[in-house]
Structure 1
Amino acid sequence: MDSILPKPVTQALAAIGLLYISSKVFNYLRVLASLFLLPGIPLSTFGPKGSWAVITGASDGIGKEFALQLARKGYNIVLVSRTQSKLAALADELTGANASVKTKTLAMDFAENKDSDFEELKSLISGLDIAILVNNVGLSHSIPVPFVQTEEKEMKDIITVNVVGTLRVTQLVAPIMVKQKRGLILTMASFGGVFPTPLLATYSGSKAFLQQWGTALGAELAPSGVHVQVIQSHLVASAMSKIRRTSAMVPSPKAFVRAALGKIGRSGGSQGIAYTSTPWWSHGLMQWAITNLAPGGSMGTIVLGQNKSMHESIRKRALKKAERDAKKGQ
């Protein structure tokens, strides 16, 4: 059957289709190369051994692992988190395993947003050669919850910790890096900030803010020799995710941090998003597939609906568990 379209139009449409498919294939090959083949920028680019790394949310999970791995690479560590006993134990662990490494600690509750805490942090880092800042401190909902049922304190704490705390720490550290004309700022984001997440709406919004802020900050600081990288991830086995068992889709903090530090300057699965990396291989492939293949991309109704169903199920199980625990306590 002959085409009802003129031959030149048919040829033009075929060329457009081939160009579109070719671009997707090329983009996918870039993802594979970024995740599996190409090395990241060496950390020594941002400061030599003996310079300092500041890590927030440092006492557990991903933050603790950043401290352990950066100390092994010869960086002195400023540990900032809520619980002094955990900070002291981690500081002892770092210096015990790495004789040349120095540590400083500051116990502060980011949810309280005390000016005195930030003044103390400013004093603590004054005069230090700071090479790396890891903005890791974060807070999520205790369980998935509809926004209209979210308690005011939980809502405010999430915004204060994830957004305000990160901004205030960065405003203290970034000027030091700009003056030195080198430095690395890593900010932990989340798929919740890329793909809107019903029942985690406030958390999702806070991480979306960090994504946009981090990208803008990267463009601002690049001329000063300071590299900014927003680190994207799906689930990592940690206290925040409440997942203990690791898998290909859920790496341990150790594996995830090793990937993140090894892929500085590489986008991984975050192709096309400036100053951003999704370094863990399965997260990167998942992000690419959803963004490029799901109808409507990241805002597609399929992705949104799956996110909603998953967190409704998690909420239902959490409420049932709380009910059982309450009965046991009677």
Structure 2
Amino acid sequence: MESVVVAGDLAAAPAPATPMWFVALVAVGLHAAVVWAGTFLAWLRRAFLRPGKGLCRRYGEWAVVTGATDGIGRAVALELARRGLHLVLVGRNPGKLSGVCKEVRAAAPACKVRTVVFDLAAPGDDDVGGGELSRGVARVAAAVEGLDVGLLVNNAGATYPCAAYFHEVPDAVWEAVLRVNVVAATRIARALVPAMAAKGRGAVVNVGSGSSVVVPAFPLYAVYAATKAYVDQLSRSLHVEYKHHGVDVQCQIPLYVATKMSPVQGNSPFIPSPEEYAKAAVRCIGYEPRCVPYWRHSIQWFFASLLPDSVLNLWRLQVGIRKRNQMKVLLGESDHGFS
């Protein structure tokens, strides 16, 4: 006798339970998607929609810019002048300083400009930069006396003239890199930050480098990368120290920009002009303690973060060795077994 299955019995049968591992997997996936979407939208806002702060109103009428005669420093000075700030320009070449002054006054006729001739790489009388370095910092302090200085842009930087193994870098070269990137930047900040903290407002922008943040190592430019790591850590620590005193300290991380310090030649959509970079840099002032102002640089950082450290290290080592060997050939020198 055949059995008869009643439709109602089928309807009443309980559905199989969804496995808990599947529920957990979906939850994790949804959470990751929400986090990714939020991060992407926040990046879009930072890169394209977030307005720059009113620097004069928020911080003060005057800005000090070091390394102001070329590249990023010159472009930032011009951009700040267009935004209504008066300038104290610091550089080692009086002729170039005079030229930038003329450019600033042409771009922003109402801008007041003072200059300080100061070679940040000048040897000192002691290991922490006495002598000319101390006198240069004193000249900067004298130039800003009585001014409402609201912004310091520590832009001046130094690197090797060419890629080299650590033991090959002449003492005069790596010591100058240390003086400019570490000692001078620190001393100038110490000269200006106390007045900012006392009045309860101010901003410091220290220019770092992708060599100390974006890649895990920067072989054949070791001292330069190490000094920029110092700049990054100093900036983030000072941000915590002085935020509640109204002083915003920030490390801006450029990758390659079309300046005379950049070893990259040729056109690339990822290498902005100093003027293009400066617009993005000024718009970022006063926000995060560490930022990558130029949006295409942040894309490069994202893709670099997807690669293993070993791959990035091998790539940077090969790039450094190739540049070193090219320079050795140009100079007619032997490599003494290093390649």
Matched, 1:249 2:296: no
Matched, 1:318 2:339: no
Residue by residue over 1:176-206, the C-alpha shift from the partner in whole angstroms, topping out at 9 and shown as x without a partner, is: 2112211121111000111221111110111
Matches within 5 A, 1:27-46: 27-46=39-58
Cα distance, 1:118 vs structure 2: 1.5
Find the partner of 2:103 among 88, 93, 97: 93
Task: Tell me which amino acid in the other structure corresponds to 2:74.
Answer: K
Contact 1:246 1:252 in 2 (8 A): no
Residue by residue over 1:224-264, the C-alpha shift from the partner in whole angstroms, topping out at 9 and shown as x without a partner, is: 11111211011000011144644311000000000111233
Cα distance, 1:286 vs structure 2: 1.4
- Counterpart Cα distance in 1 of 2:19 and 2:107: 72
Q: 1:33 to 1:47 in 2, by over 3 A?
A: closer
Task: Tell me which amino acid in the other structure corresponds to 2:117.
Answer: A
Cα distance, 1:289 vs structure 2: 2.7
Contact 1:40 1:266 in 2 (8 A): no
Contact 1:56 1:135 in 2 (8 A): yes
Find the partner of 2:211 among 192, 202, 210: 192
Deviates more, 1:211-220 or 1:282-291: 282-291
Backbone CA RMSD of aligned residues? 2.1
- Counterpart Cα distance in 1 of 2:265 and 2:303: 26
The equivalent of 1:270 in structure 2 is: none
The equivalent of 1:164 in structure 2 is: 183
Matches within 5 A, 1:1-12: 7-9=19-21, 11-12=23-24
Q: 1:24 to 1:314 in 2, by over 3 A?
A: farther
The equivalent of 1:173 in structure 2 is: 192
Cα distance, 1:290 vs structure 2: 2.3
Find the partner of 2:316 among 307, 314, 318: 307
Q: How many residues align?
A: 305
Contact 2:88 2:113 in 1 (8 A): yes
Task: Tell me which amino acid in the other structure corresponds to 2:211.
Answer: G
- Counterpart Cα distance in 2 of 1:290 and 1:193: 13
Contact 2:56 2:85 in 1 (8 A): no
The equivalent of 2:150 in structure 1 is: 131
Task: Tell me which amino acid in the other structure corresponds to 1:294.
Answer: L
Q: Which runs of 5+ in 1 are unaligned?
A: 1-5, 268-274, 325-330
Cα distance, 1:282 vs structure 2: 0.9
- Counterpart Cα distance in 2 of 1:136 and 1:317: 29
Contact 1:191 1:232 in 2 (8 A): yes
The equivalent of 1:155 in structure 2 is: 174
The equivalent of 1:271 in structure 2 is: none
Identity of aligned residues (%): 30
- Counterpart Cα distance in 1 of 2:19 and 2:84: 66
Matched, 1:203 2:224: yes
TM-score, normalised on structure 2?
Answer: 0.83
Q: Which runs of 5+ in 2 are unaligned?
A: 1-17, 123-128, 334-339
- Counterpart Cα distance in 2 of 1:14 and 1:68: 52
Contact 1:53 1:76 in 2 (8 A): yes
Cα distance, 1:95 vs structure 2: 2.5
Rg larger for: 2
- Counterpart Cα distance in 2 of 1:92 and 1:36: 31
Helix, strand or coil at the partner of 1:254: helix
Find the partner of 1:279 among 293, 300, 306: 293
- Counterpart Cα distance in 2 of 1:207 and 1:28: 27
The equivalent of 2:64 in structure 1 is: 54
Contact 2:203 2:286 in 1 (8 A): no
Task: Tell me which amino acid in the other structure corresponds to 1:36.
Answer: F
Helix, strand or coil at the partner of 2:114: strand
Q: 1:153 to 1:233 in 2, by over 3 A?
A: same
Find the partner of 2:79 among 69, 86, 95: 69
Q: 1:246 to 1:134 in 2, by over 3 A?
A: farther
The equivalent of 2:120 in structure 1 is: 110
- Counterpart Cα distance in 1 of 2:148 and 2:286: 22
Deviates more, 1:112-121 or 1:201-210: 112-121
Residue by residue over 1:56-91, the C-alpha shift from the partner in whole angstroms, topping out at 9 and shown as x without a partner, is: 011111111111111122211111111111112212
Contact 1:34 1:266 in 2 (8 A): no
Deviates more, 1:275-284 or 1:38-47: 38-47
